[in-house]
Each structure stands twice: as structure tokens, then as C-alpha cells.
Amino acid sequence: METLSNLSNALTKTVESGDQSVVRVEARRRLPASGIVWSPDGVIVTAHHIVKRDDDIRVGLPDGKVVPAKLMGRDRTTDLAVLRAEAVGLITPAWADGASLRVGHLVLALGRPGKRVMATLGIVSALDENWRTPVGGQIDRYLQTDVVMYPGFSGGLLLNAEGKGLGLNTSALLRGVSMSIPYPTLQRVVEALLAHGRVRRGYLGVGGQPVRLPGELTKELDQETGILLVSVDPDSPAGRGGLVLGDTIITFNNKPIRHLDDLLELLSEEVVGVEVPLQILRGGQIQELMIVVGERD
């Protein structure tokens, strides 16, 4: 009995530790959702899918005040949006180093769809390396929990047993699955949205599919597949750089391209506007082209 009582009291303290860092976000007609304090001067990170309007947004603070907020940017591919509320002196969560996180660890999901914080208890049900969302966003780590995502919990905070933040909860990345966007992804995307209002991504203007390379090249390159181009927009960076239908991309910026996801991962913000080398297979011969990477609309 004492063990259960101690656990109960510990969970209460954990919720209290995150209470002041979770806000209410009123940005849609139906039930409000939740957000996380990102900086003391009013920057709030929340879920993109709950921000249904670009203006007339309000944020309910832990002290009960409701203040106006401005949308600073959004990225649907990672389901993140950033607001700036007219508030100062807010309390940010202490963030955990997620490297020690394991399947089975206890976690608490906090939300504030109403005036007071709400909580639900669960465990980490699945972990994996970085993954790409169904709409193309790059997440630094797959983090799935079994917490019940009550209405309005999206955009709220996931805590570990020590009361430190692990990520932002969302029910929109995978249907029927409770996901948490880990802190490293939050940091990267929030910085991009504050700087540009969007996450900049590279663009070539090609469509492709994996194709097996000839046997001799497989041995020479230590690479079994490349990307066969099945479409090339002539007015795109690829078209202007000399890529044509039927070329097979082998490397991009000196990195092997075996699958389409390899190419998408390398088309990051860092290469936008940069001239990079591409190795291609054309007519049975390896050639190198220089392509200036564009920015995806």
C-alpha cells in the first residue's frame, strides 16, 4: 500500500513540475487544444493540425489569463506550429536527454484544453531511429506511447518519470497512434519557423524509383541500387542542370542514393541554393553533373 501511495504522490509531483509549461491554444472552432511554452517571452510550440486559422488566436496561460497570439509559422510535414503570445515571464520545461529512454519507461502526457492541466499515464510503447512522416517530414526519433490522447491533448507535453520534457504529443502523424515529436525535432523546426516562417527544403524537380545497378557497378560502387528518373521538370533545378529522363542518380553531394528516401533526406535546408555534385548513370557510363538545389514551395 505504501508503495502505491508513494508512486501516486510522485506522479502528482511530476504533473506539477510540467503544469506551468503547458498552455491552452484557441485556434479552431471546436474544443481548444494544448501548447508548450518554448521561451519565457511568449513563444509557444503546438501542433499544426489544431491551428485552423491564421489570426484571432488566443492562448490560455497557466495563471488563468487569456492573451492574443500571432502565428509565426507552421510545418505540416512534422505537424508543428509556432505562436508568439503577448506574455512574458513564462516557464519553460526542463528537457530530458532522450538517449536513455527505453520501451516500457513510464511517461505522462499533459494537456490543457480547459482552464486546468490534465494528465494521462502510459508507457513508451515503441522507439526507433529517425523516420519520415507520411507527408515527408523528418523526425529525429520515432517515439510512440500508449497514452490516451483525450480531445485537446494534441500539442501538449510528454514528461518522463523525473518530470522532464521528452516531446510534443500529437494524434495526427499516424492515424490511431499516439506519437510524440522529440525535443531535437522541436528545436530544429521551431528555429526554422521563427527564422523563416517555414522549414526550407531542397527541391530538384524529379520523380524516380529504385532500380538495380549493373553487376559490375554494384561491385565497383558497393551499391546495389540507384534512383531511375521517370520524370524531370525541364524548368526545375534538375532540368536546368542537365538531368534527363532515364538517368539513374547514384550519388548526391558525394553520398550514395539507394532509395528515394535517401535523396529526400539529403534535400535539407543546408543545400538550398548550393551547387552540389550528382553522379548519374547514363548510357551505361558514370557521369557527374553540378546542380544548384532549389527550394520546395
Q: Which residues are catalytic?
A: 49, 79, 154
Residue in this structure with the C-alpha cell 539507394, named with its chain if needed: 258
Helix (H) or strand (E) holding 126: strand 118-128
Rounded Cα distance between 32 and 205, Å, is 39
- Rounded to whole angstroms, what are the CA distances from 73 to 44, 81, 102, 200? 11, 6, 32, 12
Torsion, Cα of 173, 162, 101, 268 (10° steps): 50
Cell numbers standing for residue 230 = 521517370
Cell numbers standing for residue 297 = 514551395
Q: For residues 169 and 50, is the Cβ–Cβ distance under 8 A?
A: no
Q: For residues 86 and 43, is the Cβ–Cβ distance under 8 A?
A: no
